[in-house]
Structure 1
Amino acid sequence: MLPTAKRIPRGQGLAPALLQRAATLELDWDLRQKSRFPATDSAGRELGVFLPRGTLLRGGDVLVAEDGSLIRVLAAPQPVLRISCCPSHATPLDLARAAYHLGNRHVPVELQADHLKIEPDHVLADMLRAMHLIVQEQNLPFEPEGGAYATEHGGAAHPAHAHAHGEHPGPAQEHRHA
């Protein structure tokens, strides 16, 4: 078993060519929340993942094995509920309202511009349908938000800002993202 104890968030600083050549490890959300587990990468190697407690693996993260080899983590497709607005009865505000209610129940939620994703739950599905939202059972990668106090954003990569968070440009200043 090849020990793997280092994580590079989203492969930051690694050359794209290295990332393309790296073996992959496809994991569902439940397993990506664990800090110690055995796994088999795309090259057929048996890995022992030993990360600091509380570490979450995200799709795009890179693990570094004891021998120096790289393993790119992929978010595996898994059963999810995809929640979107009904074009006849709902508005984007209804989707925001659904995100609020799910968060109030501490449900892991993946936020996208036009839909939400959660793990399957028939009670929540009924609640969401009652809110005039479309709820579809699908098999998709799941990247829930990390929460307001997480050190990294969940879901899609977040670009660097031209300003520090908490600082807002004044009326004469331009607000630009890098």
Structure 2
Amino acid sequence: MLKLTERLGPIVVGQASDTLTLPYERRVRGRFKATSDAGRELGVFLERGPVLRDGEGLGTEEGDVIAVRAAGEPVVTAHVPAGLPLARLCYHLGNRHVTLAIGGDEHHGWVRFAPDHVLEDLASRLGARLEHHEAPFDPEPGAYGAVEHHGHDHAH
């Protein structure tokens, strides 16, 4: 079993000897066993903290590099115009402490989240066009970098 013990940050295509494709729920963990896309047994032994990002490299004790890939998984993408509609959608979804991926261009924006009928209803009421599909889920890392999930310990 290859032991992955070092985060290398974003790597260029071709730098890795193999890939490891994982859904979001596995990429939030620091220690687990997995099988690479080429069938090699891997043990991931990383410090707790940042989520493994699509395109990030992991180093083995032997000096090999394995590239992390975000797996396609069921998601909902809410499409809205850029500007205030996107800001309003992000505000209301983020106010519910859900993990979100955000993207778009100068004319159109989108917010991606795990399927949830309550969030879908909220997004629809805010004017979003919903798309249910499979796509990589690589959400925003949060305002504090390594902090992905936090306890609900602030006052209201």
Say yes or no: TM over 0.5. yes
Of Structure 1 and Structure 2, the greater helix share is in 1
Correspondence for 2:71: 76
Q: Does 1:104 align with 2:99?
A: no
Q: Distance in 1 between matches of 2:69 and 2:53?
A: 8
1:23-81: CA deviation from partner (whole Å, max 9, x where unpaired) = 00001111000001111112211000010022310001001112211100001111111
Q: Does 1:42 align with 2:37?
A: yes
Correspondence for 1:176: none
- Tell me the percent identity: 41
Secondary structure of residue in 1 paired with 2:47: coil
5+ residue gaps, structure 1:
153-178
1:148-169: CA deviation from partner (whole Å, max 9, x where unpaired) = 11159xxxxxxxxxxxxxxxxx
Q: Distance in 2 between matches of 1:128 and 1:8?
A: 37
1:91–1:147 Cα change, 3 Å = closer
Q: Does 1:4 align with 2:1?
A: no
Q: Distance in 2 between matches of 1:42 and 1:145?
A: 25
Structure number with greater Rg is: 1
Correspondence for 1:166: none
Structure with larger RCO (C-alpha < 8 A, sep 6+): 2
Q: Distance in 2 between matches of 1:130 and 1:55?
A: 33
Deviating above 3 A after TM superposition, structure 1's stretches of 4 or more consecutive aligned residues are none
What is the total number of aligned residue pairs between the two structures?
143
Q: TM-score, normalised by structure 1?
A: 0.75
Query: Paired residue for 2:15, among 18, 35, 39?
Result: 18
Q: Does 1:119 align with 2:110?
A: no
Contact 2:34–2:42 (Cα < 8 Å) also in 1:
yes
Q: TM-score, normalised by structure 2?
A: 0.85
Correspondence for 1:95: 86
5+ residue gaps, structure 2:
148-156
Write the letter of the residue equivalent to 2:101. E
